């Protein structure tokens, strides 16, 4: 039989498993919101632990908390930040508004661990209270958004590394394929030549440009509402607590955290999470484009482009023998689609606040952190299992290149637009090559055709004009 302890809150008593560090309010949340089985992100747990650690130290320093209780709470928060109590976060990510259930889950775990450190029984909240001591000078309204924004900063630090890994893989392929000319395509129709390498390099550059947008998002996330308490005024906090807690929070996390320029605005608006989600959407859209281009270029082999070959990482069909699909690119699409959908949910949550507080912030925090997590997890895998092993199908590249009537565009300065169009249409109608028709019609000599449309000339055409 599991031993129980009795705890009491403002609604009355309940029995809580005595082995649990969480308490009665966490229990009520478990009973009231059995929605998804999803739990708080590891980044949110870490950021909340650092926040409570910073607040405990600031309260002791400024006289809001006695040293004995403060020391125990600090030790408990340090252990939480190290991951010791991850299993104690039992509240569903879909919960009551504002994140009160998560904040109290944190407060109860820290209070009960602090009591244990002092040799006292769990639930002895008259000695160390989740509300009066761990939550001293704080509210869910300022701590949850502050912790969520710092969690996003932690998560983006990991994601930046993953995106950079993919960029490096794309750039390596760009160099490997730098001198492989191929038919370009616009509107999915034949166009002037490019190199296979330029396509890969361009994908890398597009992701680099997205990364260049991230610092402005991080600047917004670093301005936090901690110290605002219930509505921004800092009610029930001691003088100096706001500035000192934010300063210590920044020191603990390594981020340049700032006190809100307007303590009321930063309680009301969750635009920093909206901006973070929008940046994730931008990244996802570029990833979808890249994944779909790879799928298109590798389509076939008999009935598609078949210009590149993706690594064969698993069988592609339960009924068609030897069929291999672009599985890694398909997975990347699905990850990116989820990120785009998460942005829509976040947008609704960000606009869903009223007056002094946004009660929908648990949804926004979850969507941003989960979207970041799945991208962080998969992008290095995609780089390794897909990009790094791509090979060029040189015969197919050459075949499409020499057969492309679009190459005749280079003849326009010599023969004029209408004459070149006439030759191109005839080539398409008769199946004859453009090169052969140019000589046959006496428009150019063979050596002139070779000079204008030979291999060296075509490779030069792929270079940007200074």
**In the beta sheet, which residues pair with residue 36?**
none
Question: Residue 369 contacts by C-beta under 8 Å, 6 or more apart in sequence?
Answer: 41, 43, 44, 148, 151, 152, 155
Which string of b and e fits 190-219 if b means at least 16 CB within 10 Å?
A: bebbbbbbbbbbebbebbeebeeebeebbe
Element (H, E) at 460: helix 455-461
C-alpha 307/C-alpha 404 separation (Å) is 14
The question of whether 317 is a catalytic residue gets the answer: yes
Tokens 């070779």 sit on residue: 450
Question: Do 438 and 449 form a contact (C-beta atoms < 8 A)?
Answer: yes
Question: Do 260 and 225 form a contact (C-beta atoms < 8 A)?
Answer: yes
Kindly name the residue from 317, 318, 327, 404 that is annotated as catalytic.
317
Q: Among candidates 240, 248, 226, 235, which has minimal Cα distance to 57?
A: 248
Q: What angle do CA 103, 63, 70 make, to 5 degrees?
A: 50
Concatenating the DSSP letter of every residue in 301-359 gives: SSSS---EE----S---SSSTT----HHHHHHHHHHHHHHHHHHHHHHHHTT-BTTB-T
Annotated catalytic residues are 317
């Amino acid at each position: 039989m599991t031993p129980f302890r009795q705890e009491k809150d403002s609604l009355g008593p309940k029995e809580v498993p005595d082995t649990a560090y969480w308490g009665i309010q966490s229990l009520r949340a478990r009973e009231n919101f059995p929605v998804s089985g999803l739990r708080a992100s590891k980044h949110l747990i870490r950021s909340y632990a650092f926040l409570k650690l910073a607040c405990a130290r600031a309260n002791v320093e400024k006289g809001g908390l006695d040293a004995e209780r403060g020391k125990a709470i600090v030790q408990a928060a340090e252990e939480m930040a190290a991951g010791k109590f991850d299993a104690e976060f039992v509240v569903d990510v879909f919960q009551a508004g504002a994140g009160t259930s998560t904040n109290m889950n944190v407060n109860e775990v820290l209070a009960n661990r602090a009591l244990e450190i002092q040799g006292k029984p769990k639930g002895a909240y008259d000695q160390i209270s989740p509300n009066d001591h761990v939550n001293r000078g704080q509210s869910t309204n300022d701590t949850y958004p502050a912790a969520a924004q710092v969690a996003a900063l932690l998560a983006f630090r990991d994601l930046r590394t993953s995106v950079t890994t993919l960029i490096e893989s794309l750039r390596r392929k760009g160099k490997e394929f730098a001198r492989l000319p191929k038919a370009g395509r616009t509107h999915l129709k034949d166009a002037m030549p490019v190199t296979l390498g330029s396509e890969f390099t361009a994908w890398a550059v597009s992701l680099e440009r997205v990364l260049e947008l991230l610092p402005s998002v991080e600047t917004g996330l670093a301005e936090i509402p901690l110290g605002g308490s219930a509505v921004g005024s800092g009610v029930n906090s001691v003088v100096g607590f706001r500035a000192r807690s934010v300063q210590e929070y920044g020191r603990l996390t390594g981020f340049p955290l700032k006190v809100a320029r307007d303590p009321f605005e930063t309680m009301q608006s969750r635009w920093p999470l909206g901006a973070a989600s929008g940046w994730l959407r931008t990244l996802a859209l570029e990833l979808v484009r890249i994944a779909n281009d790879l799928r298109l270029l590798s389509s076939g082999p008999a009935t598609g482009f078949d210009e590149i070959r993706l690594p064969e990482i698993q069988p592609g069909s339960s009924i068609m023998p030897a069929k291999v699909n672009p599985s890694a690119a398909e997975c990347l699409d699905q990850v990116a689609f989820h990120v785009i959908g998460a942005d829509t949910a976040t947008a609704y949550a960000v606009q869903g606040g009223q007056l002094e507080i946004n009660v929908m912030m648990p949804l926004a925090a979850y969507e941003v952190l989960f979207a970041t997590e799945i991208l962080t997890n998969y992008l290095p895998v995609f780089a390794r299992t897909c990009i790094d092993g791509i090979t060029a199908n040189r015969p197919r590249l050459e075949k499409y290149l020499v057969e492309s009537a679009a190459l005749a565009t280079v003849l326009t300065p010599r023969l004029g637009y209408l004459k070149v169009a006439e030759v191109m249409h005839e080539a398409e109608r008769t199946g004859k090559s453009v090169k052969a028709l140019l000589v046959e019609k006496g428009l150019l000599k063979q050596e002139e055709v070779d000079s204008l449309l030979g291999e060296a000339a075509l490779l030069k055409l792929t270079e940007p004009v200074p």
